[in-house]
Structures are given as C-alpha cells and as structure tokens.
Structure 1
Amino acid sequence: MNKAILIVFLLLISLYTFEKIPAHSRESAENKSAAIEYQDLTIKQAIKLAYPSALKWDKNALLLRAVDIDLDEKSNEVIGRNGKRKHWNIAFGVPDTNKFFLVTIHNGKIDAINDLTNQGDTPYFKKEFTQIDDIHYDSPELLKKALKTGRLYPGKDWAKGYNFILLKDIEKNISFISVVGWNRGQTQMREVSFNVETGEYISLQD
C-alpha cells in the first residue's frame, strides 16, 4: 500500500464514517455506564471498549480497522503525545458477508453504535480482518518507536498532533498500526508503521 494512499485513507475514513451517521439516527450505546473512567484511550483500549457492542450485534464480528477522529480542539498541548486520543471510530464486519458495524467513541466513551451494512457492498474476506488477540503492541509504545526515527512532528492545524490507525495489509498478510504526523515544515504528512504482532517496523511502499 502506498504511503500517500494510506494517509489520505486515514483522514477520509475518520471524517466520512463520522459524517455518514445522521444525528437523528445515532443510537446510544447500552454499555455507556460501563465505559472506561478516563477520556484518553490507546488504540487497544478503544478496540476493547468497542468489541462487546460488535459481538452483541453479531457473534461472528471481527475487527476491520480502527482510527482516531480529528475532533480535538486546539490546545497548547500536543494531542496524542501520550499515544492516546479521545475520539475513535472502530469498524467491524463479518467474514464472507457485507455486514458492517461502526462504534464511535467520544471523550473515551461509546457515543454511537450503527449497523451501516449496504446490500450492494462487496462481502469481506476473512483475510481482511485482524484478530484482536494478535495485537501485542499498543499506540503509546509504538509512538515512542516512531519518534525515534526523527521523521515525525505533530500536526498543528489539520490532522492535529499524532494520529493512529490500525489496518490490514492483505497482500502482505500483516496487520499494522501506523503513527501519522507531519514533516518539520508542516507541508507533508508522514507515517511510520509497525507490525501489531512483532512491533517491527514495516514499509508500506508498493
């Protein structure tokens, strides 16, 4: 997967899937009262918070992707500097079907659960999913690794701070977490990606 495509996909999916849910159709999640006490979540914490709702929707639900939503207000602090974010979209599906389910997290709590299945969508293959038990590395430790490369700086205006996305590279059969930031001059987005099982750096270039 080309790096530029990955970064654009990150931003489109985080914004589009959020806007795709009309305000009047959002459902309150039943497990709000059991939400994690703090607001900032790592990517693994966000996935684990969302997973019970997905299993209630369909017992065969598996993880498709996870991405933070760029809704944080500007502040003097670097958003995501601890490897955590307040807002997330966690997407699930069912292998060999076109079923698609989205859990939206705001301020560290489940805000909406939505079945966004479209009958005309292509079914998902099993190889497109990530097994949650295979995610051995989390966003805080991977952010530290990414910063050691000297390539990433926090975004200031758009895609603020550091952003995190979990996806599956189907061709390489590798699930990865990308840490996304900018170059020093804030003119180009950059990412550093790691295998979720081994923590090793991986190149997403074709």
Structure 2
Amino acid sequence: MKKIILVVLLLLISICTFEKVSAHSLQSTEDRSEAVEYRELSIRQAIKLAYSSALKWNKNAQLLSAINIDLDKKSRKTIGDNGKRKHWNISFGVPDTNKFFLVTIHNGKIDKINDLTNEDDSPYAKKEFIQIKDIKYDSPDLLKKALKIRNIYPGKDWAKGYNFMLIKNTKKNINLILVIGWNSEQTKMKEVGFNAETGEYIPPQN
C-alpha cells in the first residue's frame, strides 16, 4: 500500500497544482446555484454533486477518483469525525480517450470546474473507471468500521482529521474507499480500505 500512500500525499496537495492550470477553467454560475445547501459532504454526496457538471462537459464522462482536500480549518472537535468533509476534488474522464475533467468543491459547493485534458497523456482504459451505481457504501459508515478494525488517529498538522479517498484497484477490479489517518505518534499515515460495493475490509498489500 506504499504506492497508495504516495498517491494520497500527491492528491491531498493537488489543489495547488490544479489552480495553476485554470486557463482551461469552465467555471459555471449555474452549477453554483444548483449546489446543495449543506457544507460538509460524504464522499457519495460529493460525487453526486459533481457528476452533473461532468455530464455537461461530456455526455460520456465517467468517474475516475474522489478525494477530500486538506483545507479545513478546525470547526469541530475533529475534522472528518462524522465521515464528511467540506472540500473535495472529484475527477472524471472519458474511456479510451485522454480527456480529463476536475470538479473542485469548496465549503460543500462547486467552486471550480476545469477541463485538464493533456494531449500528451495516454488514453484512460475502461478498467480504470468507477461506475457510480457500484458505490453502495459511504464514508460515514466506513469510518466507523475503520476505527473498529485499526487504531488510526486524526491528523493534526496536515492531512488533518480523517481523510477519505475513492480509487479503482485495477489489479483486483475493486472500487476502493480508503479511510486515512495517522499513527498515535503522528509520524506515519495509516489507511483502512473497503470495497465500495460490498463494504468488505480489504487488508493492506505489502
């Protein structure tokens, strides 16, 4: 799972990179007005909110990944302790093309939508995509399960609180939801993975 941890580290800070490529920004006031009223979103709520923008971008858009962004200021005892976060990056693509689209959610509302297609990138294979109908478990319930399975603690300085990520494990053909925290010393990130369709615990790979 070391590779997954590296991906987590990159994605948690990815908002800085994506904001630098805003030349392709397709920000829409219409999407802002359609945003739901609540500020903290579960991973399924964030994906549902972002999906309509992706379909407007391309009718064949499919989900690639979802991860919360580490922008929260401490507004509750522990950030993410209810399985929800305010800030998310939800990424989409089009199978067998290199088309890539990012929806950034801030404070529970769509803040930016960006076509980040890079013509030099390889096409995304069909096996890399996640079917939204197959995401049957959500971050609040999976956080509760994770805390019973492993001793993970909320981050204090960065990757604060509990973090959540949805990716595709192409080797096992599993939609994987990760609940991410730290060890008690705050020196090492720890994750607990679950099959998003069955809720089954997926042990870390060495």
Greater CA deviation, 129-138 or 31-40? 31-40
- 1:185 Cα shift? 1.2
Where does residue 6 of structure 2 map in the other structure? Answer: 8
Where does residue 39 of structure 1 map in the other structure? Answer: 39
**What is the RMSD of the two structures over their aligned residues, measured on CA atoms?**
1.5
For 1:146 and 1:37, the matched residues in 2 are separated by 28
Superposed CA offset, 1:55-114 (max 9, x none) = 011111000000000011245621000000000000000000000000000000000000
Q: TM-score normalized by structure 2?
A: 0.94
Superposed CA offset, 1:16-38 (max 9, x none) = 25422238644433211111111
Where does residue 141 of structure 2 map in the other structure? Answer: 141
SS in 2 for 1:40: coil
- 1:203 Cα shift? 2.3
CA contact (8 A) 2:15 2:69 kept: no
Where does residue 77 of structure 1 map in the other structure? Answer: 77
For 1:150 and 1:17, the matched residues in 2 are separated by 29
SS in 2 for 1:89: strand
- 1:150 Cα shift? 3.6
Where does residue 20 of structure 1 map in the other structure? Answer: 18
For 1:70 and 1:114, the matched residues in 2 are separated by 19
Residue 12 of structure 2 aligns with an amino acid whose one-letter code is S
Structure 2: give runs of 5+ residues left out of the alignment.
none
SS in 2 for 1:21: helix
- 1:164 Cα shift? 0.2
- 1:162 Cα shift? 0.2
For 2:26 and 2:57, the matched residues in 1 are separated by 13
Q: TM-score normalized by structure 1?
A: 0.94
Superposed CA offset, 1:160-189 (max 9, x none) = 000000000001000110000001111111
CA contact (8 A) 1:68 1:87 kept: yes
CA contact (8 A) 1:7 1:180 kept: no
Structure 1: give runs of 5+ residues left out of the alignment.
none
